[in-house]
Homo-oligomer: A and B are copies of this chain.
């Protein structure tokens, strides 16, 4: 599926070009490896975040009344679990597609498919980032309270619950960073199918 770069000068190392055009084969390989790694990492981290939140509960007794803290007590944490579950499933499917593409030795040249992947990646990145931001806001209120509105801090009452939720939010932040990286890569994979690669002449 690859052909030697006919336009490369003879006195530079031989450069292979994929069917995608002016992208050297070495860059093509690195882009694919990075995509698989980022998608796998995003999947793993999103699963970990969702699992940590799903299993997070702490029971305390206050004046003979038993109270249980769960992630379902806070809407933003429920949203974070849903967003991470979606991100994990999506990343797994995309990871499988990338691996099949690598095994078959092909290159993404279909504009409709590249547009579909690009759109889904963008949407997923923004969903995960939004869910993380909302969860962080709720976590900060839980940690420090909001005295002006009489919203008391609760983390000193449920220390273990809050620590585990904090770990889950940290995993979700790492997963969202990977999703953003993936979104950038799929953007590159889409828009290199357009244009002539003649850039570099300055902003005229």
Contacts and interface: CB of A to CB of B under 8 A. Distances in A.
Interface stretch (A35-43, A45-53, A194-202): A194-202
A179 to B, nearest CB: 11
Nearest to A144: B75
A35 to B, nearest CB: 14
A154 B148 CA distance: 10
In the assembly, how many copies of this chain are there? Answer: 2
A46 B2 CA distance: 48
Interface of A: 1, 19-23, 69, 73-76, 101, 104, 106-111, 113-114, 122, 126, 129-138, 140-142, 146, 148-152, 154, 180, 184, 187-188, 190-204
B196 A20 contact: yes
Contacts of A148: 69, 73-74
